[in-house]
Structure 1
């Protein structure tokens, strides 16, 4: 029997407010600014949090000698429309060459990889 439940996913970053704003634009929700720690409470109640990390170094993707550690898969209805919106918010394409796949890979403004996945 489980003894815990997931409270939130926390991303280290140089500017928690800016990264929370990016993900609020992508996922919706309410930003709760606590200074060095910022929560994004999503419409379904889940929390994505952002923590200031002095000396933050973004993951390199793809780089077998430097693990990406984790990435977020974000389900969307229309990949092309979602891509335009993500890029307008500051996402950077990492791997979008194969347009026949059901996902595309990007980096958020702090360099964390995430995928837009057809739902």
Structure 2
């Protein structure tokens, strides 16, 4: 028997509503909340949350001396189309070396790494 169940993944960031808006454009859903906390309610019922973090420093990737802490894997039907979309929304490519594999690594506007992965 489990002791708990996962409620929501929370990302620290300088502007919760702005980062929730970025992920709403990528994943769909609606943004709720203002100020120090925002929720992204996804169409399938899941959610991501975003919390203001004064003095936020984005993770360094790839950097063996600095952990990336975590990253999101986002499944997409077409890597090239999804890549154009996230770049237009303000993502930055982190690993453009190997275009033949089934995933690509980016940073969101606050600097958190995420991957687009072929479905």
Segments of structure 2 that go 5 or more residues without pairing to the other structure are none
Q: Hey, what's the Cα distance between the residues in 2 that align with 1:92 and 1:34?
A: 25
Give the aligned partner of residue 91 of structure 2.
Answer: 91
Q: Hey, what's the Cα distance between the residues in 2 that align with 1:34 and 1:99?
A: 38
- Asked if 1:2 corresponds to 2:17, the answer is no
Deviations along 1:27-85, whole A, 9 cap, x unmatched? 00110114210000111111100000000000000011110000000000000000000
1:39-118 to 2 correspondence within 5 Å? 39-118=39-118
Q: TM-score w.r.t. structure 1 length?
A: 0.98
Pairs aligned (count): 119
Q: Hey, what's the Cα distance between the residues in 1 that align with 2:45 and 2:6?
A: 12
1:96 shift after superposition: 1.8
Q: Hey, what's the Cα distance between the residues in 2 that align with 1:11 and 1:22?
A: 13
Q: CA RMSD in A?
A: 0.7
- Asked if 1:37 corresponds to 2:48, the answer is no
Instruction: Find the residue that maps to 2:116 and give its secondary structure.
Output: strand
Q: Hey, what's the Cα distance between the residues in 2 that align with 1:106 and 1:30?
A: 22
Q: TM-score w.r.t. structure 2 length?
A: 0.98
Moved over 3 A (4+): none
